[in-house]
Amino acid sequence: MMDMLFVARRKSFCRVLGPGCRSVIWFYGCSRGCFGCIAESMNKSAKYESYEPQQLADWIANNHGIEGVTLSGGEPFEQPKKSLEQFLALIKQNPNLSILCYTGNNYQTLVKDAANQKILQYIDVLIDGEYQIDNDKGQRWRGSGNQRFHFLTRRYADEKNKWFNTFERQIEIELELNGSLLLSGIPSKDFIDNLTTKLNNRNISIDFS
Ligand code: SF4
């Protein structure tokens, strides 16, 4: 039996973390501890769910109409490697689905490891590098200027220049049935501070991811 994958949050349809409409998985846990990490609650919170690769793949398969899947975190590469590899292989049984993956590691470091190579073979675009709070350039889909797109397949390679040179941030805010607010996307630090202050003044809290 495969090791379980640990998931802090998942969203079936999201338009602000990669091209088109995507399912997003925020994996639980990251040992890096970047200052100002927007997903800090996913690294320390006791709240997470465990899934076998097939269970997560079945969820993806039922999200009809998506262009692909975005893996975020937490740190995807701190999940059990064999299980992550199997999960990605299951997603790619549908060749129309693209896979984007965020990681705090550098691609050059990841690729030295044989288990990581098996995972990377399924990823169309890797967005690498730790988050640097004082290096926010306002770039689309990237939190800080050191982070790079690595086009590992041809899927989006023709759009390389556009991806690197688009400065536009979008977020989605969901109101859950239990009354909590959930934010998806990569807002600037100033935006987060302003929004948090305004909501706190009204005794409303919001979770970021
Ligand atoms: S690598 Fe990503 S999830 Fe991990 S601490 Fe840094 S910003 Fe947060």
Q: How confident is the model at residue 24 (pLDDT cuts 50, 70, 90)?
A: very high
In the chain, % of residues over pLDDT 70:
98
The predicted pLDDT at position 159 comes to 97
The predicted pLDDT at position 40 comes to 79
Residue 46, pLDDT above cutoff 80: no
User: Mutation test of ligand 1: which of 9, 35, 102, 131 has the most ligand atoms closer than 8 Å to its C-beta?
Assistant: 131
Residue 192, pLDDT above cutoff 70: yes
Higher pLDDT: 110 or 192? It is: 110
Burial of 50 (0-12, 13-18, 19+ CB in 10 A): exposed
Separation of 178 CA from ligand 1 center, angstroms?
A: 27
Whether the CB-CB separation of 125 and 100 falls below 8 Å is answered with: yes
Write out pLDDT tens, residues 117-154: 999 999 999 999 999 999 999 999 999 999 999 999 99
Whether the CB-CB separation of 7 and 52 falls below 8 Å is answered with: no
In the chain, % of residues over pLDDT 90:
77
For residue 102, give the ligand 1 atom closest to its CA.
2
Residue 151's closest CA among 160, 140, 143, 142?
A: 160
Separation of 130 CA from ligand 1 center, angstroms?
A: 6
Domain for residue 36, yes or no? yes
Which domain does 59 fall in, by range? 5-171
Q: CATH number of the domain that 67 lies in?
A: 3.20.20.70
Whole-number mean pLDDT of the chain?
94
Burial of 104 (0-12, 13-18, 19+ CB in 10 A): buried
Domain for residue 136, yes or no? yes
Separation of 73 CA from ligand 1 center, angstroms?
A: 7
The predicted pLDDT at position 8 comes to 93
Domain for residue 75, yes or no? yes
Question: What distance lies between CA 96 and its chain's CA centroid?
Answer: 19
Domain for residue 148, yes or no? yes
**End-to-end Cα, the chain, rounded Å:** 30
User: Mutation test of ligand 1: which of 6, 26, 37 has the most ligand atoms closer than 8 Å to its C-beta?
Assistant: 37
Domain for residue 195, yes or no? no
Domain for residue 73, yes or no? yes
Number of domains in the chain: 1
Q: Whose CA is nearest to atom 2 of ligand 1?
A: 104
Whether the CB-CB separation of 98 and 68 falls below 8 Å is answered with: yes
Lowest mean pLDDT among 97-101, 104-108, 153-157, 179-183: 179-183
Q: Which two tokens stand for residue 131?
A: 């988050």
Separation of 105 CA from ligand 1 center, angstroms?
A: 9
Q: How confident is the model at residue 45 (pLDDT cuts 50, 70, 90)?
A: low
CA distance 52 to 87: 8
3 state DSSP class of 5: strand
Domain for residue 86, yes or no? yes
The predicted pLDDT at position 202 comes to 86
Whether the CB-CB separation of 71 and 103 falls below 8 Å is answered with: no
Domain for residue 200, yes or no? no
Write out pLDDT tens, residues 152-184: 999 999 999 999 999 989 999 998 888 788 899
Residue 84, pLDDT above cutoff 70: yes
| Average pLDDT score over residue span 70-78 | 95
